[in-house]
Each structure stands twice: as structure tokens, then as C-alpha cells.
Amino acid sequence: MTGTTTWREDAGRDLVRNVGDRFALFVRGEGAYLWDEDGTRYLDFLAGIAVNSLGHAHPVFVDAVAGQAATLAHVSNYFATPPQLALAAKLKQLAGTGPDGRVYFANSGAEANEAAFKLARLHGASQDARAARPRVLTLENAFHGRTMGTLAMTGKPAMQEPFLPMVAGVEHIAPTVAALEAAMADDVAALVVEPIQGEAGVVDLPDGYLERARELTSRHGALLIVDEIQTGAGRTGAWFGFQHAGIVPDAITVAKGIGGGFPIGALVTFGETSELFYPGTHGSTFGGNALGTAVSLAVLDEIERAGLVENASARGVQIRERIASIGSPLVRGTRGRGLLIGVALQHPVAGAVVAAAQEHGLIVNAANPSTVRIAPPLNIGDVEIDDFIGLFTRALATVETSVLLDADHSATTEVSA
């Protein structure tokens, strides 16, 4: 804050208007809780959009940042550092690439997906000219990022529209096995897919989709690239979402939860795909620096040590049962897996539920107009879940009342009209 202006005025004047008005000015966090500048406490069941895997200000995170910053933060990719090599080995191990996997480090999800897009192009170009593969398939409603390459991959025409023309070659297909069978051919370089479509509203893939996608991409020589940016780092109750399907992809992208709040992304490649990049084909100044990789390694080690993948699985079931037992007439059901949960509503009132939750001291978000997304830290327990259910029940009740009033009102209007 500067002098006499409020933080809202500062934000309204100084920040680019790419998002709407911010709800709060948060000044501190601890575990699953946040505090605003007035000292009001909020339960954070969004975790920075599936980012703060260990919650806020976890001692492991704090020590890793401070310790590595005091040792060596950045030297550029002309040189290697111990944390970079250790994190690459850790990601290969967790993803199950075996010895021939490789890791490319980036600073965000979009950058990891840009690397994946370039990987797909390299794969297309590595065929002889007649067998070139100009096509990259992604799913309708998919979200893969906001940079020009990843925006082309994102299956939301409204997001693309102000920025046309898009990078060529991307086709969005319906998220069904039939659509995949119809689209797949020998000119496809890659299929890029999220195990659960997070930004679309926590939408699960049809049963057996990834298994069938693996068969079809293999048969046609296309890469299967799984976007694990939201689903990775243990969030769904496995280290990566694809592991529930028991398949082996050609590449995965990760970001969000692997850094626990530190910006980092990565592309992890499997098998022959690992040989596609060669010197000069891609790079990043910050990507994989000692500071970011040391923090991510510490976060992943803590997720493993504390059994948080298992916790995500068990707590996810617990939360979904508790939401069902609220018995709210607004709630149609839940989607997702582990601690990536979409609460499907009967009406497009997710925005109102989120606003009511915030007023009651709970942070969640509207992943689409009729879905509330819940993505808490992976280390939550009974205390946080009890707190969540209490606050969420009150938020739903607030909106139920207004929806019922609206329904009464429109009924009255209809009668009188």
C-alpha cells in the first residue's frame, strides 16, 4: 500500500486487468490457513490452484528456500548443479521412466507444455517427408496454458478468439474414445490429454480412455503426452494421474504442485522420445535453476516421507462422503479423484457459492459456472476437513436460500404475467 490509497485502489490502478477484482489481500499463511490484512483467517481449500502441496509456510519448504538461496541460486544452463540432477532423477523415478527417461526444466505449466508441443513437432519432423505428422490432437475444453502455443492446444474457443490466428496444426476432439478412434491416423504427431480436466470443471475422462489412447497412439506412431500439471505430485492419490490407468506415456508435463509454491515446471520423457531434443532445439534461462529444483526436490521428498499421496487418496474419499452427507439440494454430486474434487451443482451458481464461502472464511473456486473446485493442501487432516464441511455447509445454505427465493420469485412472476 502506498500512503493513503487502499490496496484495492492500488491493484485497480497498477495491475494489468487480465483478471477481475481480487477478493482479498493476503499477508500470511500457515498450513491450510491464510490471513488477510485485517487479521481475518480463511481456510484455504484451493491451495493456490493445486500448488501449495504442503500448505503455507511449511518448515520443509521454508528451509529449502532459505538453505539453497544461501548456498547457490542460479548459474544458467551452461552448468549443472546438484539439486537439478537430484530432482531430474527423482522425477524419473516417480514417473517410472526407467534409465532412458529425461527431464527438461521450465518455470511454469505453460512452459512445460510449450516444450511438449515442440517435442511433438520434432517427432513429426523426424519422419520422412511423405510421412510427416502435422497434426496435434487435444480435447475439447482442455486447458494447457495461455502462451500462444499452449493456447492453441487449449480447447476453449472463447479464450483463443481475441488472439487469432492460432499456431497451426492443433485439432480439438470430443473427449470420447469414438472421437479419438475417428481422428487418429498416421499423420498425428501427438495426443495431449489431461487425466482429469481441471480447468474445464474437474471433468474425469471416460473409463478406459487412457488405455485406449495408449493403444491407438502406439499403433499409429503418435506420441501420448499426458498433462499432469494439475493432477501430478500426488494430488489424485497417485504420484501422477496416468498411473491409475496403468499405462506408460511418451511424455508428461508437470508444474503446480511439484514446487509447493515455488514456480517450476518440467517435461519428463520416456523411452525413445527422450532422444528427440538435441542441442539448440530448446532452452530457458531460469529453467531448472538450483533454487527452484532444490525446493521442488524437498517438496517431493516431504510428500513421500509423510505419506501424502496415500493421504490425498483417503482424504479425498472422506471429503466426498462428507459433502454427500451435507444433503444440500444444491449439490448434484462430486467428480475428480483424491484431493482434486469438483462439486457439481444443480444450478449455475458456483460463483455465488464461492462468494458465500469467502464471506464465511473459506477459499474455493468456481472451475465452471456449475462446479466448485476443491484442491486443498495434501497434508490436511480431520481438523481441516471438519472446518471445511462446517464452512461449506453454511455457504451452500446461503445460496440455497437465494436460489429458492429466486425460484419463488420467478414462479410468482410467471403466474402474474
For 158, other C-beta atoms within 10 Å of its C-beta total 6
- Closest to ligand PLP by CB, 194 vs 384, is 194
Beta bridge partners of 254: 266
To ligand PLP, the closest distance from the beta carbon of 128 in angstroms equals 32
- State the amino acid at position 389 in one-letter form: I
Q: Which stretch binds ligand PLP (CB under 6 A): 1-9, 57-65, 139-147, 330-338?
A: 139-147
Q: Which of residues 227-246 bind ligand PLP (CB under 6 A)?
A: 227, 229-230
Q: Return the closest-CA partner of residue 375 out of 215, 192, 232.
A: 232
Q: Which stretch binds ligand PLP (CB under 6 A): 107-115, 185-193, 339-347, 356-364?
A: 107-115
Interface mask (CB under 6 A) for ligand PLP, residues 259-298, using x and -? Answer: ----------------------------------------
Beta bridge partners of 26: 36
Q: Return the closest-CA partner of residue 274 out of 79, 94, 93, 98.
A: 98
Q: Which residue in 31, 109, 287, 342 binds ligand PLP (CB under 6 A)? A: 109
Q: Which stretch binds ligand PLP (CB under 6 A): 137-145, 287-295, 370-378, 384-392?
A: 137-145
Please check whether residue 138 is in contact with residue 170, taking contact to mean a CB–CB distance below 8 angstroms: yes
Q: Does 198 bind ligand PLP (CB under 6 A)?
A: yes
Distance from C-alpha of 290 to C-alpha of 83, rounded to nearest angstrom: 6
Q: Does 199 bind ligand PLP (CB under 6 A)?
A: yes
What 3-state DSSP class applies to 196?
A: strand
C-alpha cell at 398: 446461503
- Closest to ligand PLP by CB, 151 vs 396, is 151
Q: Which residue in 108, 274, 284, 328 binds ligand PLP (CB under 6 A)? A: 108
Q: Does 214 bind ligand PLP (CB under 6 A)?
A: no
Distance of CA 255 to the CA centre of its chain: 8
Q: Does 114 bind ligand PLP (CB under 6 A)?
A: no
- Closest to ligand PLP by CB, 44 vs 194, is 194
- State the amino acid at position 196 in one-letter form: I
C-alpha cell at 209: 480412455
- State the amino acid at position 241 in one-letter form: G
Largest interatomic CA distance in the chain: 76
Q: How many residues would you count in the chain?
A: 417
No. of helices (H) and no. of strands (E), the chain: 13, 17
To ligand PLP, the closest distance from the beta carbon of 86 in angstroms equals 23
Q: Does 384 bind ligand PLP (CB under 6 A)?
A: no
Q: Is 6 exposed, middle or buried (0-12, 13-18, 19+ CB in 10 A)?
A: exposed
Q: Does 143 bind ligand PLP (CB under 6 A)?
A: yes
- C-beta nearest to ligand PLP: residue: 109
DSSP-derived secondary structure for 55-98: -BS-HHHHHHHHHHHTT-----TTS--HHHHHHHHHHHHHHT--
Interface mask (CB under 6 A) for ligand PLP, residues 352-381, using x and -? Answer: ------------------------------
Q: Does 58 bind ligand PLP (CB under 6 A)?
A: no
- Closest to ligand PLP by CB, 238 vs 352, is 238
Q: Which residue in 44, 114, 194, 250 binds ligand PLP (CB under 6 A)? A: 194
Q: Which stretch binds ligand PLP (CB under 6 A): 74-82, 181-189, 191-199, 328-336?
A: 191-199
Please check whether residue 62 is in contact with residue 69, taking contact to mean a CB–CB distance below 8 angstroms: no
- Closest to ligand PLP by CB, 33 vs 143, is 143
Instruction: List interacting residues with ligand PLP (CB under 6 A).
Output: 108-110, 113, 143-145, 194, 198-199, 227, 229-230, 255-256
